């Protein structure tokens, strides 16, 4: 019996993805058209570029959906992908021009891409592959099965430790400097570690450690002062973000300008919004209104109700993705789906936290709505992985049920034959 995967497509994931993607195209047009008209450029230019990436993304989803999962479990394919990613991160850091004070974009003719965006899905793939192969050891030795090597490699074999690979890639992203994507990669890695099979208490320990470290770090900055911390070379780039985090209205002309106008945009929207395309803040008052701070513009135009419905749809998509991971029988499939759901959740949290002042702004795009073809492509590839995993899990479940039913019928037939056997000795 062969089952076509077309009949196993999870529409509870595909439909929300398609709706969010279309809403994203509308938002991109709304946030970019007015500025493009001012410069005498085709107002549809940005949305057309975004649309091209989305069409490529749809083809990518179709291609990934048809792949056999053994392709993802091939160590050579994964190793090659990671090597290419490291090379691209090095090129982005040392051989590209800065954009808004940071490296990270590789431009080839009319095409530009950001390697750090693709690392988010690669880290999920890599850690799922690594942890899935150690399930028996984890069940026996708990966290020690994942920490048998030293942090500092003293032997060549130590370089195979997953922590070394992960740390190198995170540091390459942070060196751009791209602290937003670095934070998402780290948080996603912690989620992967928590769902790897180690004792549940380690999740609580990790959460408590992050909370304590963040509290101490913010406390030190508050005591020492943002101005003094800004003189530290490594910290200079993010000093203004922390200044705005503590009091955005203290320096409205510089460090607090972006966050303050984010508040103005959200306040202007009220419950029902000013109407699609009628945002005031996107007209030059709110920097990065098309990317990092696109959601305040959405709230200004669609209001709290409209923005809440978009968030609800996004969280529904995340929950459906995580549901696939929870139901999956295969550890690798489970960790891929849960990791992807966690990755999108972390990106949403970091973006919403930044625009609302809950955490310092880190320059992370909002999933599906922000302008950026790379982000759309990465999210689409992630959705393609989950759809493929869900279809394979469903097919395996059907095969298991069919096999169990066949064994039950064979057993019933065997019992029936035994009951119909005539014992000739009973006649004598």
Structural domain includes residue 421: no
Structural domain includes residue 242: yes
Structural domain includes residue 259: yes
Q: Give the Cα separation of 332 and 388 in Å (integer).
A: 13
Structural domain includes residue 426: no
Query: pLDDT digit of tens for each residue in the chain (428 aa)?
Result: 567 777 888 999 999 999 999 999 999 999 888 888 888 888 888 899 899 999 999 999 999 998 888 888 888 888 898 889 989 988 888 887 776 667 778 877 777 778 888 999 999 999 999 888 888 887 777 677 776 654 444 443 444 577 888 888 888 888 887 788 888 998 898 888 888 887 777 777 777 887 888 788 777 777 776 666 655 555 555 666 776 677 777 767 666 778 888 888 898 888 898 988 888 888 878 888 888 889 999 999 999 999 999 999 999 999 999 999 999 989 999 999 999 999 999 999 999 988 888 887 777 889 999 988 888 999 999 999 999 999 988 888 887 777 788 888 888 888 877 666 555 455 44
304-327 burial: b if 16+ Cβ within 10 Å, else e: eebbeebeebbeebbebbbbbbee
Backbone angles phi, psi at 111, to 5 degrees: -105, 135
DSSP string covering 93-160: HHSS--BTTB---EEETTEEE-HHHHHHHHHHHHHHHHHHTTHHHHHHHGGGGG--S-SS--SGGGGG
Question: CA 60, 61, 64 angle in degrees (round to 5)?
Answer: 85
Number of independent structural domains in the chain: 1
pLDDT score at 413: 80
CA nearest 185: which of 209, 166, 164?
166
Structural domain includes residue 277: yes
346-355 burial: b if 16+ Cβ within 10 Å, else e: bbbbbbeebb
Structural domain including 351 reads 5-415
């Amino acid at each position: 019996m062969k089952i076509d995967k077309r009949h196993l497509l999870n529409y509870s994931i595909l439909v929300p993805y398609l709706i969010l993607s279309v809403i994203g195209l509308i938002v991109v047009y709304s946030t970019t058209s007015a500025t493009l008209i001012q410069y005498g450029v085709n107002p549809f230019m940005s949305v057309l570029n975004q649309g091209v990436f989305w069409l490529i993304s749809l083809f990518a989803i179709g291609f990934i959906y048809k792949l056999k999962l053994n392709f993802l479990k091939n160590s050579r394919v994964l190793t090659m992908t990671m090597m290419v990613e490291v090379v691209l991160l090095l090129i982005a850091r040392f051989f590209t021009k800065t954009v808004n004070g940071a490296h990270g974009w590789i431009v080839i003719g009319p095409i530009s891409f950001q390697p750090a965006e693709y690392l988010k899905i690669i880290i999920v793939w890599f850690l799922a592959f690594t942890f899935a192969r150690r399930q028996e050891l984890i069940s026996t030795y708990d966290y020690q099965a994942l920490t048998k090597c030293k942090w500092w490699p003293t032997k060549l074999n130590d370089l195979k430790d997953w922590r070394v690979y992960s740390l190198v890639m995170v540091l390459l992203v942070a060196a751009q400097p791209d602290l937003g994507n670095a934070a998402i990669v780290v948080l996603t890695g912690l989620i992967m570690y928590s769902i790897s099979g180690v004792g549940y208490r380690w999740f609580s320990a990790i959460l408590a450690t992050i909370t304590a470290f963040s509290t101490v770090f913010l406390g030190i900055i508050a005591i020492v002062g943002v101005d003094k911390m800004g003189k530290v070379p490594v910290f200079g780039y993010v000093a203004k973000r922390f200044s705005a985090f503590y009091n955005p209205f203290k320096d409205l002309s510089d460090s607090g300008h972006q966050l303050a106008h984010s508040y103005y945009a959200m306040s202007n929207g009220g419950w029902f919004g000013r109407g699609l395309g009628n945002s005031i803040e996107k007209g030059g008052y709110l920097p990065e209104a098309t990317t990092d701070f696109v959601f305040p513009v959405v709230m200004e135009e669609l209001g709290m109700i409209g923005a809440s419905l978009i968030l609800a749809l996004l969280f529904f998509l995340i929950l459906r993705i995580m549901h696939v991971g929870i139901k999956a029988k295969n550890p690798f499939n489970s960790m891929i789906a849960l990791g992807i759901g966690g990755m999108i959740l972390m990106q949403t949290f970091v973006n919403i936290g930044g625009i609302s002042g809950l955490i310092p702004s880190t320059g992370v795009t909002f999933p599906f709505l922000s302008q950026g073809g790379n982000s759309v492509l990465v999210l689409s590839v992630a959705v393609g992985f989950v759809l493929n995993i869900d279809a394979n899990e469903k097919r395996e479940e059907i095969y298991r049920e069919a096999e169990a039913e066949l064994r039950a019928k064979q057993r019933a037939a065997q019992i029936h034959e035994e009951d119909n056997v005539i014992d000739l000795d009973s006649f004598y």
